[in-house]
Amino acid sequence: MSTVKATRPLDPSPRLRRRIKPVKIASFTALLVTTFLMLLPLFFMVSTSLKSKREMLKFPPTFLPESWALRNYVDIFETLQFGTLYKNSLIIAGFSVFGTLLSSALVAYGFARYRGRGNSFWFILLLSTMMLPYPAIMIPQFVLFSKMQWIDTFLPLIVPAFFGSAYNIFLLRQFFSTLPEELFDAGRIDGCGELRMWRTIALPLSAPALATVAIFAFIYSWNDLLTPVLYLSSSDKFTLPVGMASLTSSRFRIPPWHLLMVASVLAMVPIVTLFAIAQKQFVEGIVLTGIK
């Protein structure tokens, strides 16, 4: 019996190796330059947050603080009601994420698992709402919430999230559509209802897509400036973007840009923390949803 010898993979020729090496060096150099350019604004923001007001106005600007003004991180809480602003933003963003996940996952599950007459029509009609800019519905919404006496409350900022979002529904629907039908058949044999299968089968298997939706919803609510300005009038209900915008108002002869940079650094903490925790699920959700 003849034996088949294992063949080693052919090594690239010396000429090919010499050709590949400059390509790798050029790619690595381009990545380093791009990374530096992307991190430069972040570095300048952190550096400015540690400068005094006098040094901040110097020209040309200094990249590193001459004297580290750590006091800025205390002054921001005295200049603004920063703790209150932070708390309000966290409350609104937290409820918005919960409402978005709950409503979008339910609607997406219905579109993905039920095949009835008019299913495609209603789904296309839902997607068409993405073409409506917010200013087109801003006035009717304001009149509605005004009639309901919700002005100067958190309700106009939270309740709409419990009615779903077209983009998030589309994202979750694409993911739910890839789940094997055999899992749901087994659930029906075990006597599970649709809501129980949604809760025990669909949601656990869709953790990457849900993490992606949660991050998008949190970032949108956390950075939203127009809606809080429209509905909130009491300073103790302002959110973080509204408070930061007030630092550039006419009540300051020279806007305290160093304090604005401090507020920007602190405002990044929840977003960076959330992305660091859910980074794996976020990347997997984007990749799998696009491939499947």
Per-residue model confidence as pLDDT tens digits over 63-104: 788 778 788 888 888 888 888 899 999 999 999 999 999 999
Q: Pick the most confident of 5-9, 227-231, 278-282.
A: 227-231
Confidence of residue 53 (pLDDT cuts 50, 70, 90): confident
| pTM for this predicted structure | 0.80
H-state helical runs in 68-165: 72-79, 82-113, 119-128, 134-147, 155-158
Rounded to whole angstroms, how far apart are CA atoms 204 and 187? Answer: 14
Nearest alpha-carbon partner for 183 in 200, 196, 201: 201
**pLDDT at residue 252, rounded to an integer:** 62
Q: Which residues contact 248 (CB under 8 A, 6 or more apart)?
A: 255, 260
How far is the CA of 195 from the CAs of 100, 110, 120, in angstroms?
17, 10, 22
Q: Which two tokens stand for residue 122?
A: 């209603």
How far is the CA of 223 from the CAs of 17, 49, 89, 116, 252, in angstroms?
49, 20, 9, 39, 23
Q: What percent of the chain has pLDDT over 90?
A: 22
Q: How many CB atoms lie within 10 A of CB 146?
A: 12
**pLDDT of residue 265 exceeding 60:** yes
Q: Per residue in 174-227, pLDDT tens?
A: 888 888 888 888 888 888 888 888 888 888 888 888 888 888 899 999 999 889
